[in-house]
Chain A
Amino acid sequence: MRNKRSPLASTIRQNPGFYGAIIMLLVLYLVYNMLHPRGFSAAVLIQNSNESVAIVFLAMAQTVPVLLGGLDLSVGAIMTLTNCVASVVVNGSPPQIIVGMIITLATGTAFGLMNGLIVVYGRLQPIIATLATGAIAVGLALFIRPAPGGNVDDDISWALTNDLYELVDTYGWFDADAAWFAPISWFPVPLLIVVVIAFGVWLPFKRTVTGRTIYAIGSAEGAAYMSGLNLNRAKIAAFTLAGFFAGCAGLYLAIQTSSGNADITQAGAYTLNSIAAVVVGGTSLLGGMGGAIGSMVGALILRVISFYFRIVSIDPLLQPLVEGVVLLLAVSLGAFRTLRVKNQLNLFR
């Protein structure tokens, strides 16, 4: 808008981290497919999207509190909790399954809302508040499912972790072999779910006053307050949305594994990876800059890096080291802008 000549060029200039991440992802994924014996096939795409969904949703969940300038250490725990809830409720007849899914997402959302209320009215630092609530979530998850197991409906599990063809074929909505359907029937369902939630929930939310208030708080909380924005509502909304996204991750994890598992180490690892994904995706940990779409890309980059170990022969005991080095490089790319800044005070905005 401001730059009438080329709006695209100006968005690229304003979001170097985000576009850099997209280019990095494209290059990494292209090379992976070229090296893979069955690269560029739907089977590989389905498999890759399946294993990425949980971390993508969790990275999106982490983004919203980070935009405020805080960290949410409970996202992995909420994912574990909703995973265990889903393993109990997502089965039975189709209406029961749908109700079960709604219950699962509502659990995540409610937990996020609780986080928000504690942060706003308890006046606690988000990082401390969510550390505590995360422990509560894991405790609840262990209570619901002391041993791994559960029974998520097999059909939904199979249909939602495959391509559109299998989805339609499993439920017989229409003739899956129809000619008009053929060009899109290969599309992976998990990818579709992520795209729908990311663009159907995040983008509209970002455009609301509440959404923009979140960015304003991250940029300059004092200024946002002086501008008469409703800070409390925005903060609560941010954590609630994070809870919803974490709930999506937990639900999909349950569908993917058709079971629930209150795995504490997994919850911790996912929380840390979600923060890494947010940073790689170009969102500033100081808040006010970035977005959930970038984090989605960041999460995918993290995943694609680990895909390489299956193709390229690297000593298994060196793999964590290599992964760490690549990750460090990816994060450092975002820091290159500091080299070009003439006045270092600009960095502190």
Chain B
Amino acid sequence: MKLGTVISTAIMGLMLSTSLSLAGPEIVAGPGAEPGCFAPWNADTKYMQWPAKQGPYKIAVVNGFVGNGWRIQMIKTAKAYAEDPAIKDKIAEFKVVSTGTDAPAQLGAIEDFINQGYDAIITIAVAPDGFDRVIRLADKNNVVLVPFDNVLDTDAVMQVNEDQLLMGRTWAEFTLKELAAKGVTSGDILEVRGLAGNSVDRDRSIGINEVLEADAGDWKVTQVVGNWDDGTAQKVVADAIAVHGEFDAIIAQGGTVGVVQAMIDAGHPFVPVAGESENGFRKLLAKHAGEGLKGISIGQSPGLVAVSMKAAIAALEGNVMPQLISVPLPVTEYSELQDGVNFWSDLPDNFFTVNEFPPCGVNISGPSIMAQTEADVK
């Protein structure tokens, strides 16, 4: 009874004190710290500032789904970046957990880390909604919560992502540039889309088609759905080539290795291809660029996790941060490919090359990730 009274009084005191002093970030005026790395999403993006904390910090990554190559590479990148000399001293403790596609478990894990006194929690949300409670708790405890990749539908937390619309536009602009260089100013373009109903797929496709429509030339776009998956993309591209004949260029959101493979198998002449950042795609670009496979490779990088970690630390140090951080697109054109630098001919195809963000000081290269266990698997 007595102990219970003491405990409950303590809890009550805690509840009262925290609910009165609802802390969390303050909305301040920009510009923010390191704009080269932490670029605001657009001109309307708010800026946030947390009270500065003394380091080193305890940081946790709460992943949801685990089991595809991208997620595994993301986790490895997070671990490698935590060991990076630039930030190693700023991190007291670092933990990564994956909860699977289980919203209560992910929310529980985030809350657990808040309770454990962690300073920052980085997460790929399993759903764009439903985080109100943990956001409230994070604010109460001055914990910096950073969703990235699958971001939340809220402007109450700092988030990190790449601009999918811009990615679509850049692909299309490159394609038009290469076609113009060949003297082609109108014709057929094959667009290989991603998972239907997904906002990333929608935004990338809007970006691609915006640019093609705005162009003076007359472009006929054929759309197929490749689900960002090599096998599916290879099949639908093979079908499209069989039905449609030749295309002047291909813009693929993902599964780009399959796209190029389908082209080779069908005996389709090499044309410009815009695609994702799989190592296999870059290997093919390097090999066949001379024959006309002029390509651009842009990726949703697993290295976003490192940028998110860096942003969390910057926020904990009291810097002014944009609420929505647009990470510069990692763009590599065929002419810039160098074996061992931005692709690796001795590493597997199914691996995402773009891991580095030089403006952010994130320099985790492919091999430094692969060195951990993937090499043994191979």
Q: Which residues of A contact B (CB under 8 A)?
A: 36-38, 41-44, 47-48, 50-55, 146, 148-150, 154, 157-158, 161, 163, 165-166, 177, 182-186, 253, 256-259, 261, 263, 265-266, 269-270, 303, 306-307, 309-311, 313, 316-317, 319-320
- Which chain B positions have C-beta within 8 A of A55? 104
- Which chain A positions have C-beta within 8 A of B75? 316-317
B109 at interface by CB-CB < 8 Å: yes
B242 at interface by CB-CB < 8 Å: no
Instruction: Write 30 A-B pairs (CB below 8 A) sorted by A numbering.
Output: A37-B115, A38-B115, A42-B7, A44-B112, A51-B105, A51-B109, A52-B108, A53-B104, A148-B129, A158-B136, A161-B133, A166-B15, A186-B4, A256-B130, A257-B103, A258-B132, A258-B133, A261-B127, A261-B130, A265-B101, A266-B103, A269-B101, A307-B112, A310-B95, A310-B113, A310-B116, A316-B61, A316-B75, A316-B97, A317-B76
* Contact yes or no, B105 A47, CB < 8 A: no
* Contact yes or no, B97 A309, CB < 8 A: yes
B54 at interface by CB-CB < 8 Å: no
- Which chain B positions have C-beta within 8 A of A270? 102
* Other-chain contact of A37, B63, B117, B131 (Cβ < 8 Å): B117
Q: State the majority secondary structure of interface residues on A.
A: helix
* Other-chain contact of A47, B4, B12, B95, B112 (Cβ < 8 Å): B112
B66 at interface by CB-CB < 8 Å: yes
* Other-chain contact of A44, B8, B98, B115 (Cβ < 8 Å): B115
**Bound complex: CA of A258 vs CA of B107, how far in Å?**
12
B339 at interface by CB-CB < 8 Å: no
* Other-chain contact of A148, B8, B98, B113, B127 (Cβ < 8 Å): B127
B326 at interface by CB-CB < 8 Å: no
* Contact yes or no, B8 A185, CB < 8 A: yes
Distance from B91 Cβ to chain A, minimum over Cβ atoms (Å): 13
Known contacts A158-B133, A183-B4: A256-B104 contact under CB 8 Å: yes
**Bound complex: CA of A55 vs CA of B75, how far in Å?**
27
B68 at interface by CB-CB < 8 Å: no
CB under 8 Å from chain A, chain B span 3-19: 4-5, 7-9, 11-12, 15
**Bound complex: CA of A319 vs CA of B117, how far in Å?**
22
Known contacts A43-B115, A183-B5, A259-B127: A50-B132 contact under CB 8 Å: no
Known contacts A53-B104, A182-B5: A263-B127 contact under CB 8 Å: yes
* Contact yes or no, B12 A320, CB < 8 A: no
**Bound complex: CA of A154 vs CA of B127, how far in Å?**
18
By Cβ-Cβ distance, the 4 closest A-B pairs, closest first, are A51-B108, A257-B130, A259-B129, A316-B96
- Which chain A positions have C-beta within 8 A of B69? none
**Bound complex: CA of A258 vs CA of B12, how far in Å?**
25
* Contact yes or no, A317 B72, CB < 8 A: yes
B336 at interface by CB-CB < 8 Å: no
**Bound complex: CA of A161 vs CA of B136, how far in Å?**
12
**Bound complex: CA of A269 vs CA of B65, how far in Å?**
11
B100 at interface by CB-CB < 8 Å: yes
* Other-chain contact of B11, A50, A54, A163 (Cβ < 8 Å): A163
* Contact yes or no, A36 B116, CB < 8 A: yes
